[in-house]
Structure formats: structure tokens, C-alpha cells
Amino acid sequence: MLTIIIYALIFRRLCTGGELFDRIIKEEFFTEQVAAKVFKQILQALNYCHSMNIVHRDLKPENFLFVSPDANADLKIIDFGLSKIMEGGKLQRMKTRAGTPYYISPEVLAGNYDVSCDMWSAGCMLYILLCGYPPFYGDSNQEILKMV
């Protein structure tokens, strides 16, 4: 946890462009070109976290902020409250259910997952960028989790 706090202090920047979630709501969906640019930044942020042995475990559009309101603004990843540091850089199995229903992987629900849970969440985000709605839905969290 201390490592995450140190990174947050070093790389802290004011992001005035709002959440990716809000931009999705405003645009409804993105063109393939815009979605590709946004998704590339999501994957770059995820790659950086994983290279630092950090599993985010709660990737969702609300946890990405635009640096400015500009259409071509860069994205920054936030909210490492559910993240886990992989000790010694080893691929570890985790058991704690952590995440948000629309983006949580079946492996997390089963309580036997690894760093790849972030990739599932990223894939759900790409689906939303292109379609404007989540791949799994329901009237309650239980219904959403059943769909997953």
C-alpha cells in the first residue's frame, strides 16, 4: 500500500477533463478510431501497473480521467483502493472477490484468479466504448453477476 501512495504522490496531476464514463454517456459510443486510441491508453496504463507488479482489480470507465476537456486528451488511471501488489513479481492466485459487477471476471466470482482479471475488465470497457452499453446487464447486481 505504501508503494501505491508513493506513486500517487510522484505522478499526481490535476485532471480537468472528467471521467471516461461521463464522456461515454455524452457520446453514447465512440468511432472505432477514437475507441482504439482510448483503449490503447487503457492498455498502456494497465501494462505499466502490471510491470510494477500491481493488479488494479477495479478497472472501469469511472477510474479513468482525462487530463483536459480536449477531444484528444490523455487518460490517467485512478483509484487503487482494491489493488494488490504481487509479491516478488510472481504470478499469484487471488481469492478475494473485488471489483464492480459490470466489469468483474468469472474467475474473480469463483474466487480463483490472477492478474488477467484486469484484462477481462478492459475487454468489457472496450465493448462499452464501441457499443455504448455493457456486455452483461441486469436489473440488480445479482442479475448482472449471473450474466457474467
Separation of alpha carbons 39 and 10, rounded Å: 24
Catalytic residue of the set 58, 70, 114, 118:
58
* Dihedral over Cα of 21, 98, 48, 31: its sign: negative
> Of 14, 68, 89, 74, which is closest to residue 41 (Cα–Cα)?
74
The answer for residues whose C-beta is within 8 angstroms of residue 31's C-beta and 6 or more apart is none
- Is 118 one of the catalytic residues? no
Separation of alpha carbons 3 and 22, rounded Å: 29
Q: Which residues are catalytic?
A: 58
